[in-house]
Copies of this chain bind each other. A is one copy, B any other.
Amino acid sequence: MRIHKICILGAGTLGSRVALQFAISGFQVSVYDISQKALDLGHKTMEKILRQLVKAGQLHESQITEIFSRIQFTLDPFEAVEDADFINESVTEEVDIKKKVWKQFGEIAPEKTWFTTNTSYLLPSMFAEESGRPSKFCAFHFHDVFYSRVVDIMPHPGTDPAMILMLEDLGKKLNQVPVLVKKENPGYIFNTMLMALIGAAGKLLTREVGSIEDIDRSWMVNFHMPMGPFGILDSIGLDTAWHVTHKMPDAASQAFAALLKTYLDQGKLGEKSGEGFYTYPNPEYRKENFCQ
């Protein structure tokens, strides 16, 4: 099970970061996307992260050229999977699109290739059959790769157990902390807990038990954390949060989804749009006197 050549499907935010970490860790990487613009943006994302890593003393400037020499960007699916030992897919989070991609790559990938999906909320069993090799199919899910270094390994019932061991080993080689999700569970482990925390915070807000600031303050001060649930929501994006929340059937989630919608309708998506629960780039919760 020697893993040397990696194929990353999708050059978005997460795909680029995963590709970069593979290259930093010495793997050969091809990054595939259907759009040249996406590939160019992916390249820029990587350059930005590398500069940050150099600044933080985690890499030397001189390594950058070498790292990029291991990364190939391509619009050609055949070139992308040529001799690939391993695929990690980070395409758009829609079932039909992912199914189509897995059907396509299942047909053209070499027989040896292991298949992994980096889906955030979908399940590997949704795509395993489509790929044509369910026993070599597993979720291998990264968080943000560089700050939050968990990689979730979530098999579906048909995944070959040997693949799990291989992924644990591979996760460590990528400077990640592998976590085994023993059964399929939407949102893996961390996101399940995070959504519970955010759901509780949302309920406290919609029931008018506490203000946004006091709810965040409670969490930040007691746990000595740099942000509370609403600061976290601003960084996740209120659109993403709404996407998850509005599908939950319980009354509390529905009330919170309705509140999130009022923010979205005003173009307040969180940090990325300049405003969410807080105003950026200098939100209240980052000010020194917020927790005093």
Minimum C-beta distance from A234 to chain B (A) = 16
Mark A226-265 against chain B: 1 for CB-CB distance below 8 A, else 0.
0001000000000000000000000000000000000000
Residues of B within 8 A of A190 (CB): 218-219, 222
B-contacting residues of A (Cβ < 8 Å)? 143, 147-150, 152, 172, 177, 179-183, 185, 188-190, 192-193, 195-197, 199-201, 203-204, 207-211, 214-215, 217-219, 221-225, 229, 291-292
- Known: A192-B204, A204-B193, A225-B223. Is A179-B148 also a contact (CB below 8 A)? no
Q: A184: nearest residue on chain B (CB-CB)?
A: B209
Copies in the complex: 2
Contact A150 B189 (CB under 8 A): no
Complex: A210 Cα to B223 Cα, angstroms = 24
Residues of B within 8 A of A193 (CB): 197, 200-201, 204, 215, 218-219, 229
- A-B contacts, 13 listed (Cβ < 8 Å): A150-B217, A150-B218, A177-B292, A179-B218, A180-B214, A185-B207, A192-B200, A192-B203, A192-B209, A193-B200, A193-B204, A196-B196, A197-B200
